[in-house]
């Protein structure tokens, strides 16, 4: 009898803590979402919001990203996946349906959005150098202009933006550059253009 009373008392005393632990781990509650996932979703929403400002400029207002709870797997339903709203069709679609060029500038917009949120949230830490490796070759001339306008704006605000590319049209847009040329013997030469 005494042991049962003690067990009941302990269960009653720890019930609130056990319930809170279950809620924090996503094992209980209406949405069954872990506290860490909940916090990540809030950050993710901020990144998406910041990314959409750049994406609107790069896509001439066509695309907007939205956080979604839809998906086949539990991880996808945790609200840490994206859908794309296409303003031309009014439809929501998967990012997988974007072309190579669209995927490139959408990824770039997300990277810039993340840099903006880190700066705002982490005590003003500046992510002031950005390297973009390829991807420009998949853009048509008009989209290349839109993407370069966003990059020029970043440079005007004091960010250093490095571009790695084979696209000849970029030579006219980037005044300070390293040009690497392959020589006949298989070696290469580097020229600084400023």
Query: Rounded to an integer, what distance in angstroms lies between the CA atom of residue 136 and that of residue 164?
Result: 9
pLDDT at 106: 92
pLDDT given for residue 156 in this prediction: 82
CA-nearest of 60, 92, 9, 153 to 161 is 153
**What pLDDT tens digit does each residue of the chain (194 aa) get?**
788 888 888 888 888 787 777 777 666 666 667 777 778 888 889 999 999 999 999 999 999 999 887 656 555 556 678 999 999 998 999 999 999 889 999 999 998 898 888 877 766 677 778 888 878 888 888 888 888 888 888 888 888 888 888 888 888 788 888 888 889 898 999 988 88
Enumerate the β-bridge partners of residue 160: 129
Q: CA 82 to CA 93: how far, in whole Å? A: 9
Residue 80: burial class (beta carbons within 10 Å; 0-12, 13-18, 19+): middle
Please tell me the predicted confidence (pLDDT) of residue 45.
92
Candidates 123, 99, 115; CA nearest to 54 is 115
Integer Rg of the chain from CA: 24
Structure tokens at 33: 């979402």
The answer to whether 35 and 22 have CB atoms below 8 angstroms apart is no
Please give the model's pTM, rounded to 2 decimal places. 0.71
- Confidence (pLDDT) at 49: 95
Residue 11 φ then ψ, to 5°: -60, -45
At 47 the pLDDT is 92
Helices (H), 67-193: 100-121, 141-156, 170-173
Per-residue pLDDT, 178: 87
């Amino acid at each position: 009898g005494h042991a049962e009373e003690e067990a009941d008392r302990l269960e009653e005393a720890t019930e609130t803590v056990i319930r809170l632990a279950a809620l924090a781990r996503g094992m209980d509650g209406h949405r069954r979402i872990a506290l860490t996932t909940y916090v990540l979703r809030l950050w993710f929403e901020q990144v998406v919001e910041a990314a959409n400002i750049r994406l609107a400029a790069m896509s001439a207002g066509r695309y907007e990203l939205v956080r979604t709870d839809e998906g086949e797997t539990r991880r996808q339903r945790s609200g840490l996946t994206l859908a794309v709203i296409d303003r031309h069709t009014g439809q929501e679609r998967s990012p997988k349906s974007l072309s190579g060029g669209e995927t490139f500038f959408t990824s770039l917009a997300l990277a810039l959005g993340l840099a903006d949120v880190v700066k705002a949230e982490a005590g003003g830490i500046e992510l002031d150098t950005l390297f973009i490796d390829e991807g420009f070759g998949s853009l048509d001339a008009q989209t290349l202009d839109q993407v370069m306008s966003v990059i020029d704006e970043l440079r005007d605000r004091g960010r250093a933006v490095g571009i790695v590319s084979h696209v000849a049209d970029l030579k006219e847009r980037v005044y300070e550059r390293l040009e690497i040329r392959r020589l006949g013997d298989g070696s290469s030469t580097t020229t600084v253009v400023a």
